[in-house]
Amino acid sequence: MREARLEYRPGRSRTAAMIIRSHTKGDAPSTAVYSDCETYRYSLTRVWDPEGQRVLFVMLNPSTATEVQNDPTIERCERRARALGFGGFRAANIFACRVTDPREMRRLDEPEGSENMAAILEGMAWADTVICAWGTHGEHRGQGARVEEALRATGKQLHHLGLSKAGHPKHPLYIAYSQQPQLWRE
């Protein structure tokens, strides 16, 4: 496993220290970007075919997955990406705090993380396809709507795996693999 500590400047005058860890898991080099305190994970990337198309999943918040180990959601995302013929995927989240329960996230003063929007937009530029999947908890602090607006401003098409009754893009954990990404129209 490789680790690097970098100074990160995503379009801001201040500098944030970031931890970037890499590990090869099976046939897929994996990289995770964390805050220097490791309270936040800004992205997790796996690439098994560098020449293949890439997909970005924008979900709610990171749980326990790392560059070494999948959690159930990341396992589903990787399997789905492979089944859809992508050569790699990246997971980003509208909140970057690493918690296992959305109720815990709601109690935090700063669930987003200072570099999160920059990491999401970097993922947008990296990906060929973007699947939004933050579920109904995305309404917390209006974050889902804010992120959606920022994503749409890039001009790139957004997709989802189904929408809730309230119009939120469904989280992928319990969505059948047979469900194809659908264009998310405004």
In the chain, the percentage of residues whose pLDDT exceeds 90 is 85
Query: According to the model, what pLDDT value does residue 184 have?
Result: 97
Query: According to the model, what pLDDT value does residue 140 have?
Result: 93
- Dump pLDDT digits (tens) for 26-69: 899 999 999 999 999 999 999 999 999 999 999 999 999 999 99
Closest to 32 in 3D by CA, of 82, 98, 121, 102? 98
Query: According to the model, what pLDDT value does residue 73 have?
Result: 97
Q: Where are the alpha helices (DSSP H) in the chain?
A: 72-83, 102-107, 116-126, 143-153
Q: 3-class SS at 129?
A: strand
Closest to 67 in 3D by CA, of 42, 83, 46, 95? 46
pLDDT band for 167, please (50, 70, 90 cuts). very high
Query: According to the model, what pLDDT value does residue 10 have?
Result: 46
Rounded to two decimals, what is the model's pTM? 0.91
pLDDT band for 120, please (50, 70, 90 cuts). very high
Closest to 157 in 3D by CA, of 181, 175, 134? 181
d(CA 108, CA 135): 19
d(CA 106, CA 176): 28
